[in-house]
Amino acid sequence: MTSDGKRIEALRRLLTEAHDKLGLRLGFALWDGSRVPAGWPADGLMIALRDAGVVAALLRKPKLDTLLHLHVADRIAIENGTIFDLAAARPEGKVGRLARGIPKAAVFDVVRRFIFAPGQAPPAVEHISGDEIARDGKPSTNKANIAHHYDVSNAFYRLFLDERMVYTCAYFTQDHHDLERAQTDKLEMICRKLRLKPGDRLLDIGCGWGALVCYAAQHYGVEAHGVTLAEEQLKLARDRVEALGLQGKVTLHLKDFTQMEGEFDKISSIGMFEHVGIRNHPTYFQAVNRLLKPRGLYLHHAISRRAKKTERAFNKMPAEYRALVRYIFPGGELDHLGMSIANLERHGFEVHDVEGWREHYQRTTRLWFERLNARRAEAEAEIGPERTRMWLIYLAGCSLAFERGGALVNQTLVSKRRKGASGLPLTRADLYR
């Protein structure tokens, strides 16, 4: 038997033991065409290992980064299913405890045969290197970080977003899966929470493709200003403003929002705050306060993580979170809800309402994944197969994180603090009319 044959035989033994002891509800497809268990159906859910170097790479560097690199390079893949199917098939019970039943001899045999096995190293995934530099808060750095994610391709984002191309959490007023309806309801809810009225000056920080500023100008008669650092988004947003005949009502700015001047009655920040970085929070909230008129309303919509027992524990990045920041949102950082509220109060705001939208974002990201996966071939033609695989695992991972409560999203409505009445209604009945 050849050395490769011995490797495969050792791996089969180990995977067979693991399948039995862990009670796995999936199989494995090996690079020689065999399956584990041997009788696993060809159309069943499987993890495919494309070459011996996959096992060697995971043994040498057993980290999430390695797994991501291998998956993006299509050297390890999910067959006959998606990451959601893989998550549903996870073992019942604690894996560590179940794994104790796997014979150590089988594990050692795989290690000794694969640890020095030849094989191409996992290719580097495109990213911005240097987390510290990516969070320095400089306008030039912010622009580069935003371009990395949002200037991928307008055509690519059209494949899975709604018609208005709203790239933030939708709002499901009922149990449905109509993304167009849910995003329209989200825009409407934002306008209601801000109590927009004709003549208001609205600033939308991180305006994306202009959905909110256009909606607010059309339906609430406001003078809307959007600010963004994404050049590709801005081009399309300006085309849409012109197509809707809103040139006199909507103005779009390509600049860091901290460089904006003037005062606004209402300010919204919908899914932009995650890009700021914790060390830059004081600068961010000071700028919002400077731009907001006295008693003006600010809607703070942001993803967050659960608070830990200590801030030191909170600041330790889990592997999944570090990968998200490194490969998808360079410079990004999530705070916890208490940190946001404390910062808002420290910087001159009165908090009025907080609403959790976690389950709304779980459904939104799941729909984005399904829509992109259904048009995968078009996505690969537009941005390449590697980046498409990265985006699919990112969307699926986000949905699972929101489902399990590892990631949260909240809308917090505040006013610029002044003595006396806030000017808000005594109840929130007007939001749900």
Active site residues: 398
pLDDT band at 149 (very low <50, low <70, confident <90, very high): low
Contact 81, 44 (CB under 8 A): no
Name the class of domain 133-432.
alpha beta
Mean pLDDT of 61-83: 91
pLDDT at 370: 98
The chain-wide mean pLDDT, for the chain, equals 89
Read off the tokens for 188.
């409407």
Q: Is residue 1 over pLDDT 70?
A: no
Rounded to an integer, the average pLDDT of 336-343 is 97
Q: Which helix (H) or strand (E) is 335 found in, with range?
A: none
Contact between 161 and 379 (Cβ < 8 Å): no
| Distance in Å from the first CA to the final CA of the chain | 75
For 427, other C-beta atoms within 10 Å of its C-beta total: 7
pLDDT for 326: 65
For position 322, what pLDDT does the model report? 72
What are the pLDDT digits (tens) for 388-426? 998 999 899 999 999 999 899 999 999 999 999 999 999
Q: Structural domain boundaries of the chain?
A: 3-114, 133-432
Residue 128: what pLDDT?
A: 37
User: When comparing pLDDT for 107 and 139, which is higher?
Assistant: 107
Question: What DSSP state is assigned to residue 293?
Answer: E
Name the nearest CA neighbour of 416 among 300, 267, 294: 294
Kindly give, in sequence order, each residue whose CB lies less than 8 Å from that of residue 383, ignoring residues fewer than 6 positions away. Answer: 152, 153, 156, 391
pLDDT band at 136 (very low <50, low <70, confident <90, very high): low
Spacing of C-alpha 407 from chain mean position: 10
Percent of the chain with pLDDT over 70: 89
pLDDT, tens digit (0-9, with 9 covering 90-100), for 103-130 = 899 999 999 999 887 765 555 555 434 4
Q: Which two tokens stand for residue 54?
A: 């996959």
pLDDT at residue 235 tops 90? yes
Side-chain-side CA neighbours of 89 within 13 Å: the count stands at 17
Q: Which residues of 148-222 form beta strands (DSSP E)?
A: 201-205
Mean pLDDT (whole number) for 215-230: 96
Q: How far is Cα 415 from Cα 352, in angstroms, rounded to an integer?
A: 8
**Phi/psi at 352 (nearest 5 deg)?**
-110, -45
What is the per-residue pLDDT for 152?
66
pLDDT at position 130 is 41
Confidence band for 315, pLDDT divided at 50, 70 and 90: confident
E strands in 177-256: 201-205, 223-228, 250-254
Q: What is the C-alpha to C-alpha distance for residues 193 and 297, in angstroms, rounded to an integer? A: 9
> What pTM was computed for the model?
0.91
Residues contacting residue 23 through CB under 8 Å, at least 6 positions apart: 91, 92, 93, 98
